[in-house]
């Protein structure tokens, strides 16, 4: 089972796939995110949001506004996964366009306001 949403500029899709025996209710979506409620074994309901941050730095504020809006609809455990197209610290940056501290700080401020916990990762 799953859902796929075309990107506005036709550069790709955002998709979410799940097992047939999972109970998944699609709550909302756009070309930047898919937000669902998941119930496993008729016991615990939790929320999953797959996100793809605006790839253009001058439009990233739309992603931060989206996160703030999604956060207002939170009343169960929530897992957010995806590519925010932003970094939290300079040591995460390898190559590419220069990132100003102001741009990074806007992302950090959004996360601080929404309160998620970074589970971390290793390697690319």
What are the extents of the domains in the chain? 2-114
* CA 116 to chain CA centroid, nearest Å: 11
User: What is the reported pLDDT for 9?
Assistant: 67
Give the tens place of pLDDT for each residue, 4-51. 888 766 677 889 999 888 899 999 999 889 999 999 777 789 999 999
What share of the chain has pLDDT > 90, as a percent?
40
Superfamily of domain 2-114 in CATH is: Endonuclease/exonuclease/phosphatase (3.60.10.10)
Residues 6+ apart with CB under 8 A from 51: 32, 33, 63, 66, 67, 80, 81, 82, 83, 84
This prediction's pTM: 0.83
Rounded to whole angstroms, how far apart are CA atoms 5 and 88? 27
């Amino acid at each position: 089972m799953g859902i796929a949403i075309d990107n506005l500029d036709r550069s790709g899709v955002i998709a979410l796939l799940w097992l047939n025996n999972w109970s998944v209710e699609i709550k909302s979506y756009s070309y930047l995110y898919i937000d669902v409620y998941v119930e496993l074994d008729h016991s615990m309901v939790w929320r999953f949001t797959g996100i793809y941050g605006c790839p253009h730095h001058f439009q990233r504020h739309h992603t931060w506004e989206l996160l703030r809006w999604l956060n207002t609809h939170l009343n169960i455990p929530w897992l957010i996964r995806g590519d925010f197209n932003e970094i939290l610290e300079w040591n995460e940056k390898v190559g590419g366009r220069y990132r100003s501290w102001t741009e990074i700080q806007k992302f950090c401020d959004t996360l601080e306001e929404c309160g998620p916990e970074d589970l971390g990762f290793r390697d690319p």
